[in-house]
Amino acid sequence: MRRWCFIMIAAMLWLVSCTGRKAHDLSGVNGVEDLKGYSVAVAMGSSYDLMLSEIAGVDVIRLGVGELLVAVEKGRADFCIIDQFQARMLNLESRGLEIKFNNILKGTACAGFRKEDSLLCSQFNAYLGGIRNSGVYDRWLDEWKSASDSMADASLLVHRHEKQPGSRALHVGITITYPYLFLKENNLTGIEVDMFNRFCEAAGYAVDYEIYDFSALIPALNSGKIDVILSHMRRTEERAKQVLFSDAYIEGGGAAVCRSGDGMSSGERAGIRERLKDSFNNNLIVEQRWKLMADGLWVTVRISVLSILAAVMAGVLLCRLRMSRRRMVSLPAGIVIDLLRGIPLLVILMLMFYVIFASSRITGTWVAVMSFGLYYGAYFSEVFRTGMESVERGQWEAGLALGLGKFQTFRKVVLPQALNRIIPVLKGEVIALIKMTSVVGYVAVVDLTKASDIIRARTLDAFFPLILVSVIYILLSWLTGLGLKVLERQLTPKRRDL
């Protein structure tokens, strides 16, 4: 048996090693028109994604912002396209990467507003026009560009806007994209947040930033979850049909990044021990990024605990309705259970956030708790029903024969036996619930997984944050299983020797 395990592991490693892309000759690539036949990694839903989708022969790989450079570095893509200002600020040489060509889809970044919110858009445009005419805009942008070599210094330039009592709060949807928006010591900073803070203070608004995936920004705006999109978004014809764009506030273009001539980064040259040490320092110690992971862990634990409680309550209710002798009650309950179990959890989560609670200001955390409670409540109800039906009818009759009431018979005779059979099955569902909380980042919740995504978008290290998150989830699952096992022992009747 052990021999076969080693053979299977060796086969899996061989398959993984064979999945890398073969190196291509990139010397003849000097522009977008030369990308045909090559694989190009782009941010999902970005303007570069839309542009390359219209060019036949280009293998477009759609990834998150934090995975773009990693895809090229590991050979999964020949090129990636990122903002050229961002490319200049990153130390690409240390990763064995270089800029092949610039000025891709040269354009301007705009803020996005709802179509019916033209007054707010006009105020923002008036503010931009005012600071341009006075020369403040040029001085502000020069300050940021001069600090591009050290974001530790640049982050100090951010104007901290204090909320004024009674002022309208603008909910601004953002995507973490260094250097425009990023987290330093758990504080949001960057060029765009600095600009918008100054606008809000001048116009008398309070501001609340919410982190979304880039592809979720426009749906969040149209559903009323946010008032403004501020994520270096460019105006396109398709986007303009749904979004009211402001005047441009930053000009730029994209840069095509590929592997350099030696194709080996300093990280690959260094030993494993040094690489782990550098990864630990860059991902946790620098800028106190461990605080972001700690906050994300707390959010994950809180959502997990509340969701388990909600699922238990929903499961008990659905179980009671499902076991009713009245057909008019049990049939609808069965249909609801089948529907909830048949729809993917992520779809339920998105429907709850963007459709059912679109017009409300309920936070993503509570939407996630309700979604998980309903979804896993359907599974819990079937577990409860199976456990209850596994107790023989004679146990009910015995309790009633002893003079116990119906409720007393249920609580003292039937329920302990049912719980003894339910908990071992329920353990797997509870652990699955905890692991599935990793999808709450889709509804603007910075949980453990989303925190690792934010760190990866800043450090561009795909290995360490994901491994760390995996270890934490393993520990959470182990501790949960241990707690349920203790509960199972407490509920198991002790045998007495006669």
- Provide the CATH number for the domain around residue 454: 1.10.3720.10
Highest mean pLDDT among 170-179, 205-214, 258-267, 373-382: 373-382
Question: In this predicted structure, which of 167-181, 262-276, 422-436 has the lowest mean pLDDT?
Answer: 262-276
Confidence of residue 20 (pLDDT cuts 50, 70, 90): very low
Q: Domain check: are 354 and 437 in the same one?
A: yes
Using an 8 Å Cβ cutoff, are 413 and 395 in contact?
yes
Mutual angle of helices 415-436 and 463-491, in 10-degree steps:
180
Using the predicted structure, report yes or no on whether residue 489 has a pLDDT greater than 50.
yes
pLDDT value at residue 162: 60
State mean pLDDT over 164-190.
77
Measure the CA–CA gap between 383 and 396, rounded to whole angstroms.
Answer: 20
Q: Per the domain annotation, does 403 fall within a domain?
A: yes
pLDDT value at residue 10: 57
Q: Per the domain annotation, does 49 fall within a domain?
A: no
Q: Per the domain annotation, does 58 fall within a domain?
A: no
pLDDT value at residue 156: 47
Q: Domain check: are 379 and 294 in the same one?
A: yes
State mean pLDDT over 366-392.
88
Using the predicted structure, report yes or no on whether residue 68 has a pLDDT greater than 60.
yes
Q: Domain check: are 336 and 480 in the same one?
A: yes
| CATH number (domain holding residue 206) | 3.40.190.10
Phi, psi for residue 161 in degrees, rounded to 5:
-95, 120
User: In 29-54, which positions are buried (b, 16+ CB within 10 angstroms) versus exposed (e)?
Assistant: beebeebeebbbbbbebbbbbbbbee
Using an 8 Å Cβ cutoff, are 477 and 432 in contact?
no
* DSSP sequence for 320-383: HHHT-S-HHHHHHHHHHHHHHHHS-HHHHHHHIIIIITTTS---HHHHHHHHHHHHHHHHHHHH
Q: Domain check: are 352 and 236 in the same one?
A: no
* DSSP sequence for 436-471: HGGGGGGGT---HHHHHHHHHHHH--SHHHHHHHHH
Using the predicted structure, report yes or no on whether residue 264 has a pLDDT greater than 70.
no
Q: Domain check: are 327 and 221 in the same one?
A: no
Q: Per the domain annotation, does 68 fall within a domain?
A: no
Measure the CA–CA gap between 413 and 405, rounded to whole angstroms.
Answer: 11
pLDDT value at residue 498: 38
Measure the CA–CA gap between 352 and 282, rounded to whole angstroms.
Answer: 37
Q: Per the domain annotation, does 4 fall within a domain?
A: no
Q: Domain check: are 209 and 122 in the same one?
A: yes
Q: Render pLDDT for 123-154 as a digit per residue (tens, 0 to 9).
A: 999 999 998 898 888 887 777 766 544 444 44
| Better pLDDT: 208 or 46 | 208
State mean pLDDT over 397-418.
69
Q: Per the domain annotation, does 96 fall within a domain?
A: no
Confidence of residue 470 (pLDDT cuts 50, 70, 90): very high
What's the mean per-residue pLDDT of the chain? 81
pLDDT value at residue 195: 85
Q: Domain check: are 322 and 427 in the same one?
A: yes
Confidence of residue 161 (pLDDT cuts 50, 70, 90): low
Q: Domain check: are 361 and 476 in the same one?
A: yes
What is the total count of domains within the chain?
2
pLDDT value at residue 154: 46
Q: In terms of Cα–Cα distance, which of 96, 150, 149 is closest to 270?
A: 96
Measure the CA–CA gap between 174 and 254, rounded to whole angstroms.
Answer: 19
Using the predicted structure, report yes or no on whether residue 183 has a pLDDT greater than 80.
no
Q: Cα dist. 169→116, 163, 206, 209 in Å?
A: 17, 8, 4, 10
State mean pLDDT over 391-406.
69
State mean pLDDT over 462-475.
88
Q: Domain check: are 234 and 336 in the same one?
A: no
State mean pLDDT over 263-274.
57
Q: Render pLDDT for 83-113 as a digit per residue (tens, 0 to 9).
A: 887 787 777 887 788 888 888 877 778 899 9
Q: Domain check: are 437 and 300 in the same one?
A: yes
Range of the domain at 445: 290-490
Using an 8 Å Cβ cutoff, are 134 and 202 in contact?
no
pLDDT value at residue 375: 95
Q: Domain check: are 239 and 308 in the same one?
A: no
Q: Per the domain annotation, does 130 fall within a domain?
A: yes
Q: Is 279 helix (H, G, I), strand (E, B) or coil?
A: helix
Which of 205, 228, 252 is the last residue in one of the domains? 252
Q: Domain check: are 342 and 424 in the same one?
A: yes
Using the predicted structure, report yes or no on whether residue 358 has a pLDDT greater than 90.
no
| Better pLDDT: 114 or 264 | 114
Percent pLDDT > 90 in the chain is 26
pLDDT value at residue 497: 45
Using the predicted structure, report yes or no on whether residue 166 has a pLDDT greater than 70.
no
pLDDT value at residue 495: 47
pLDDT value at residue 370: 95
Using the predicted structure, report yes or no on whether residue 6 has a pLDDT greater than 60.
no
Q: Per the domain annotation, does 458 fall within a domain?
A: yes
